[in-house]
A and B are shown apart, each in its own frame.
Chain A
Amino acid sequence: NAGVTQTPKFQVLKTGQSMTLQCAQDMNHEYMSWYRQDPGMGLRLIHYSVGAGITDQGEVPNGYNVSRSTTEDFPLRLLSAAPSQTSVYFCASRLQNYNEQFFGPGTRLTVL
């Protein structure tokens, strides 16, 4: 199993550009989440999904969209990037009835 994979590892955007951060897992996990990590702030939840076709907002959802068309994939879309979205983004997944979350390696995003 590859576990949770994220692409790209690094990305630089200009203000106003859009892009999609990819997240995939091959463990057949129902639950998937996106977090952002900023210095001194820990990890904050952006969006999450409890299964294909079901998503919900987390603590800091503004400026981000998600969809979950398959169990394996959970992309995060930035519609119009802003410097405040400069961060490290982590995707995570877990089984419904098992509480350990598995994290991807992260995507470091810089918005100029």
Chain B
Amino acid sequence: AQSVTQPDIHITVSEGASLELRCNYSYGATPYLFWYVQSPGQGLQLLLKYFSGDTLVQGIKGFEAEFKRSQSSFNLRKPSVHWSDAAEYFCAVGRSGYSTLTFGKGTMLLVSP
């Protein structure tokens, strides 16, 4: 069975500083990988996804993520965080032909002035 680990429950970053959120997955074949963001009281919005090809993927709102097969990781990055980025971030994994996604437990991002 596939699984997703987000090691950091909370992260605090100063506004303007860089951000990296970690995601590790467990799955035998090449997974389909996703990052979602959830603002308080809102639904989930897709930030970016990796299916195949270039291992560095660009998403919305200036986010990017890099798929590293050797490390079973799909870390999310942003060069300069804005106060509006404060939210909860979820990494998720699926497989080719999958019916559903498996989600990590989420990382809450706090942005300090």
Which A residues contact B (CB, under 8 angstroms)?
31, 33, 35, 40-45, 48, 50, 56, 58, 90, 99-101, 103-106
Contacts and interface: CB of A to CB of B under 8 A. Distances in A.
Contacts, number: 51
Contact of B99 (A31, A43, A44, A105): A31
A17 to B, nearest CB: 24
Interface stretch (B13-21, B39-47, B70-78, B79-87): B39-47
B101 to A, nearest CB: 6
Interface residues of B, number: 23
Interface of B: 4, 9, 32, 34, 36, 42-44, 46, 49, 51, 90, 92, 94, 98-106
Contact of A41 (B34, B51, B100, B105): B105
B43 A48 contact: no
